[in-house]
């Protein structure tokens, strides 16, 4: 037994999957890049990497910590 909470694992996997939508390397991120004007694509790429990914990673970490405290 791993003694890990299945609900916590499910939530972490869901948050991780949703966070890929802001990556320029994912399908959703590529669509955002593709539909943005050409003169804004470089700025959009940097914004997705430098703002989107840390925000999603931080929110996933906070959610994991809170759920661990609640369910543990």
64: left (phi over 0), alpha (psi -120 to 50) or beta: alpha
Residue matched to tokens 């914004």: 47
Which two tokens mark 50?
A: 């430098």
What is the pTM (predicted TM-score) of this model? 0.52
**Segment 10-46, tens digit of pLDDT:** 877 877 777 676 677 777 778 888 888 999 988 888 8
**Segment 50-71, tens digit of pLDDT:** 887 787 778 778 887 887 788 7
Three-state DSSP class for residue 67: helix
């Amino acid at each position: 037994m791993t003694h890990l909470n299945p609900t916590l694992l499910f939530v972490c996997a869901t948050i991780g999957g949703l966070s890929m939508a802001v990556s320029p390397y994912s399908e959703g991120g590529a669509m955002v890049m593709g539909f943005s004007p050409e003169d804004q694509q470089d700025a959009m790429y940097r914004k997705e990497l430098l703002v989107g990914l840390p925000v999603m990673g931080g929110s996933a970490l906070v959610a994991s910590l809170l759920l661990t405290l609640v369910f543990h």
